[in-house]
Amino acid sequence: MSYKVLNLYAGIGGNRKLWTDCEVTAVELNPEIAAIYKDFFPNDKVI
């Protein structure tokens, strides 16, 4: 079973490293931090 996760205040994705088999939408206000998150998790949607 696959989950859809809304990751608010995503940061660089510390908690995300523990999640498997899920579709993630991450919210990060700082564009520089959001870019780092996107590098770590290219398949996640970052807002």
Task: Render pLDDT for 4-41 as a digit per residue (tens, 0 to 9).
Answer: 999 999 999 999 999 999 999 999 999 999 999 999 99
Listing from the earlier edge strand, what are the strands of the sheet with 45-46? 3-7, 22-26, 45-46
User: The pTM is what?
Assistant: 0.88
Q: What pLDDT sits at residue 2?
A: 85
Contact at 8 Å (CB) between 5 and 23? yes
Q: Is the pLDDT of residue 47 over 90?
A: yes
Q: Is the pLDDT of residue 1 over 80?
A: no
If one counts the domains in the chain, the total is: 1
DSSP string for residues in 1-47: --EEEEESS-TT-TGGGG--SEEEEE--S-HHHHHHHHHH-TTSEE-
Q: What pLDDT sits at residue 11?
A: 96
Domain limits for position 22: 3-46
Q: How far is it, in rounded angstroms, from Cα 7 to Cα 44?
A: 10
